[in-house]
Amino acid sequence: MKKYIFVFILLIMMFIPFQSFGASESVNNFIYIVVNDDLISFHDTYPIVRKGITYVPIGALAEYLNIEIRWDQKSYCVFLTKNDQQIVLDLSSKSLFTKEGQIITDSVFLENNHTMAPYKFIANYFGYQVSYIGEGPIARAKDESLSVGDDELFFMLQNKILKEKERILGEIQKKKEAEAQRKELLLREKGKIVYITFDDGPTIYTEKIIHILDQYHAKATFFMLSGRIKTYKNVVRKLMGEGHAVGLHGVSHNAKKIYKSPNTVVSEMNSCNTSLQEATGTKTNLIRVPYGSAPYMTKPYRKAVEIAGYKMWDWNVDSRDSLGKNISPSVVIRNVKNQVKKQKTPIILLHERSTTVKALPEILKYLKENGYTPIPISKTQQPINFWNRKY
């Protein structure tokens, strides 16, 4: 008698509502996939949540579940086999089929050339139970091979999880930087670029600045102070999430303290970088020293920050928006306009002040009308500063 073939309707409640590893996601939203006691390391492509269902790159998962995986180019299918059980992932119809006749439609897709499939269903089908552990968080597929219970698992794996976070964030950041570099090269070939930079933030004005930049499709670079990063963590995450670059501006903003020695400059930048990492999970190599690098950053100072891995940026367009409390927005606008046209690659110095917020729309309008594209500074780019005037 032929097996009865039926359409298996997959309800969302069958699956645990996991979070995703999306590149734009915060480090706090990562979900870690564990099989028994082993943390799976995903490279290039990470678990994705769609309508409450967690999908994982099947290649990595199959290895840990001891599943034989075979790709058939002719049928455009992936075959998953273990003992006498089999699942077929049909990429042409985006459907999953089991040997027993179950069918799940719209459940298979490609992500970065990796086949993605529903994690819990596949684990269950091949004899594993899936549990969700809030700490981590962790999604665990388990059979009789586990050595510790769910309550103990996070504590056993927490060091590996921290390292995995750092690795994934670094991988994602490298991709972003490579894409930014590619876009920058295209822009340099086709048109004019400008770097808009803001010092001394984040502040109560940062979100207003981000909103204005977004209206003009402009990206900027924010050189931030350690204490203010700690105060405005969510703002820092937001501006990074929207494609703006972040740089370090130190801790004290006091010339007598920061320029006491080459080591004090590096120390302040390291402290600022730690604050950034605690707020966002990432570090940066971009710095701008308070008051600019001349005359303070003499050769020993420059050598010290270079050895520490930092790239020091100054400016060649000074808006002078920080010279007093009552600077008029029209003066700031005029200063920018007069200087931008004299530079091959304009780097505009602005500060997070109410006057600057008022002047910013007119500055962006002027740049757009004159063919400039505002882009963020890349970590890989050769820095432009007062000691390197090749711009």
Last residue of a domain, one of 152, 167, 182: 167
257 & 332 share domain:
yes
* Rounded Cα–Cα distance for residues 216 and 124 (Å): 49
127 & 213 share domain:
no
The total number of residues shown for the chain amounts to 391
C-alpha distances (whole Å) from 285 to each of 288, 334, 364, 383 are: 10, 32, 27, 11
151 & 296 share domain:
no
Could you tell me the maximum CA-CA distance found in the chain, to the nearest angstrom? 90
Residue 237 lies in a domain: yes
Residue 391 lies in a domain: no
The predicted pLDDT at position 87 comes to 97
Residue 382 lies in a domain: no
257 & 112 share domain:
no
The predicted pLDDT at position 23 comes to 40
The predicted pLDDT at position 29 comes to 58
152 & 213 share domain:
no
Instruction: State both tokens at 219.
Output: 């990206």
* Rounded Cα–Cα distance for residues 93 and 95 (Å): 5
Dihedral sign computed on CA atoms, order 181, 183, 185, 188 = negative
Instruction: State how many domains the chain has.
Output: 2
**pTM above 0.85?**
no
Q: Residue 85 carries which side chain, given as an amino acid letter? A: Q
Residue 257 lies in a domain: yes
Helix (H) or strand (E) holding 247, with range, is: strand 245-248
The predicted pLDDT at position 18 comes to 36
The predicted pLDDT at position 390 comes to 56
344 & 203 share domain:
yes
The predicted pLDDT at position 15 comes to 34
Residue 358 lies in a domain: yes
Q: Which residue has the tokens 């990796």?
A: 114
Helices vs strands, H then E, count in the chain? 11, 21
CB 90 within 8 A of CB 108: yes
The predicted pLDDT at position 103 comes to 95
258 & 357 share domain:
yes
Q: Tell me the CATH number at 277.
A: 3.20.20.370
Order of strands across the sheet that contains 32-35: 38-39, 32-35, 138-142, 129-133
Q: What is the pLDDT of residues 94-146, one digit of tens each?
A: 999 999 999 999 999 999 899 999 999 999 999 999 999 888 888 899 998 88
CB 359 within 8 A of CB 204: no
C-alpha distances (whole Å) from 233 to each of 2, 275, 278 are: 61, 9, 9
C-alpha distances (whole Å) from 18 to each of 38, 123, 225 are: 18, 15, 35
Last residue of a domain, one of 133, 167, 201: 167
Q: Estimate the share of the chain in helix, then strand, then coil, as percent rounded to the nearest 5.
A: 35, 25, 40
How far from the centroid of its chain's Cα atoms is residue 255's Cα? 32
SS3 at position 310:
coil
Q: What is the pLDDT of residues 328-356, one digit of tens each?
A: 999 999 999 999 999 989 999 999 999 99
317 & 231 share domain:
yes
C-alpha distances (whole Å) from 198 to each of 105, 133, 270 are: 50, 41, 20
First CA to last CA distance, the chain: 80
How far from the centroid of its chain's Cα atoms is residue 192's Cα? 26
163 & 196 share domain:
no
The predicted pLDDT at position 249 comes to 98
Residue 295 lies in a domain: yes
**Phi and psi at residue 193, to the nearest 5°:** -115, 160
220 & 160 share domain:
no
The predicted pLDDT at position 1 comes to 39
Q: Which residue has the tokens 């004159």?
A: 370
The predicted pLDDT at position 328 comes to 95
Q: Which residues of the chain have pLDDT under 50?
A: 1-28, 391
The predicted pLDDT at position 189 comes to 67
Residue 336 lies in a domain: yes
120 & 252 share domain:
no
269 & 147 share domain:
no
Residue 177 lies in a domain: no
Q: Tell me the CATH number at 25.
A: 3.30.457.10
Q: Which domain holds residue 132?
A: 12-167
